[in-house]
Structure 1
Amino acid sequence: MSEFTVPGLKTDDGANVAAVLQERLSAYNDLHLTLKHIHWNVVGPNFIGVHEMIDPHVDVVRGYADDVAERIAALGNSPKGTVGAIESDRTWDDYSVGRDDARAHLAALDLVYTGLITDTRAAIDSVGKIDPITEDMLISQSAQLEKFQWFIRAHLENSVGSLVHEGSSTELGAADKARQN
C-alpha cells in the first residue's frame, strides 16, 4: 500500500477502493478476452452480425480496464493486469463454449453479463459512500454494460418476451437451450 491517495480520502479508504477496483480490472480483462474468444469462434447464419457486434465492445471494455487501472494508480496503489491477477481475483468460471453458433454464444454471454453487472453493482454499493468519483465511473460503465446486455438479449428474445435460454444456470446449459429453440 502506498503512503498517499487522492486528496480528500484517507489512505486506508483509498486502498479499500483500489481493492474493489482490482476485482473490476480483472473482470474487465477477462471479459475482453472472452469477447474476442466469441468473436473468433462464432459460426452459423448470424455469424457476421455477432462477429461485428462484438469487436466494438471489446474496445469499450478494454477502455474500462484502462480507466480502472489508472484510478487504482491515482489512489496510490498498483494495478495488476496479469493473467495471474485475473485467475486469483476470479470468482467466476472460465468461459466454457468453444466453436458454436451465434445464439449459443449469445445465450452463454448473457449469463456472463448477468454476473459481471451484478458484481459491478455490488462494487458501486461498496465504494459509493467512500469515493463518489469511483462510484460515478462504475455507474457509467455499468450503464453501458447493461445496454450491451440488452443488445445480446434482443437476439435471444422470442415474440412473447421470454429468453430462449431462460432458467439456465450455466453457460453450456444456456448454449444448449439456445440451440434447441
Structure 2
Amino acid sequence: MSNYTVPGLTEENAKTLITELQARLGDYNDLHLILKHAHWNVVGPNFIAVHEMIDPQVELVRAYADTVAERIATLGGEPDGTPRGLSTDRSPLAYDVQKGSTKEHLEALDKTYVEVIENVRGSLKTSGEIDAVTEDIFIGQAAELEKFQWFVRAHLDNA
C-alpha cells in the first residue's frame, strides 16, 4: 500500500475498502469469463435471445472490474488482476455447465448472480460505514447486476 489515500480517509479505512474492492475485482473477473463461457456454450430454444443478451453484460462486468481496480489505486492500493493474484486467499466463482440448454445456463447464471450480488451487497454495507464514494460505486453496480438477474429470471419463468 502507498503512503497515501484519499483525503478524509484513514489508512486503516482505506485498507478495509481495498480489501472489499479487491474481492469484487476477483468476482467481476470470474463473472465476465463465466458469462462468455455461457455465451459460447448455450444451445436450444431461445438460443439467439440468450446468446445476444449475455454480451452487453460481459462488457458491463468488465467495466466494473476496471472501476473497482481504479478505486483501489485511488485509495493507495495496488489492484491485482493477475491469475495468481485473483486466486490467492479466495475461491473462484463456481460454474459447472459446459455445452448446455438455455435453461441449464440461465439456472446456473441465476445462482452465480445470487452469489455475486450478495457479495456486492456485503461490500456495499462495509463501504457505507466508511466512504460514500465507494458505497456509490457498489450501489450502481448492484442495481445493474440485479437488473440483469431479473432478465435471466424472466427467461426462466417461460422455460
Q: TM-score range by the shorter chain?
A: over 0.9
In structure 2, give the amino acid aligned to 1:5: T
Structure label with greater radius of gyration: 1
CA distance, structure 1, for counterparts of residue 7 and residue 145 of structure 2: 29
Report whether the alignment pairs 1:156 with 2:159: no
Cα contact 2:94–2:112 (8 A) shared by 1: no
Cα contact 1:39–1:50 (8 A) shared by 2: yes
For residue 132 of structure 1, what is the aligned residue in structure 2? 132
User: Residues 89, 156 of structure 1: CA spacing in aligned structure 2 closer, same or farther, 3 A cutoff?
Assistant: farther
User: Residues 83, 56 of structure 1: CA spacing in aligned structure 2 closer, same or farther, 3 A cutoff?
Assistant: same
Q: Point out where structure 1 has 5 or more consecutive residues left out of the alignment.
A: 159-180
TM-score where L is the length of structure 2: 0.95
CA distance, structure 1, for counterparts of residue 109 and residue 66 of structure 2: 22
CA distance, structure 1, for counterparts of residue 6 and residue 157 of structure 2: 45
TM-score where L is the length of structure 1: 0.84
For residue 10 of structure 2, what is the aligned residue in structure 1? 10
User: Residues 89, 40 of structure 1: CA spacing in aligned structure 2 closer, same or farther, 3 A cutoff?
Assistant: farther
In structure 2, give the amino acid aligned to 1:126: T
Deviation at 1:152, TM superposition (A): 0.2
For residue 88 of structure 2, what is the aligned residue in structure 1? 88
Q: Which runs of 4+ in 1 moved over 3 A?
A: 89-93
**Superposition RMSD in Å:** 1.3
Where in structure 2 are the equivalents of 1:50-65 lying within 5 Å?
50-65=50-65
Identity of aligned residues (%): 55
Equivalent pairs counted in the alignment come to 159
Structure number having the greater helix percentage = 2
Q: Point out where structure 2 has 5 or more consecutive residues left out of the alignment.
A: none
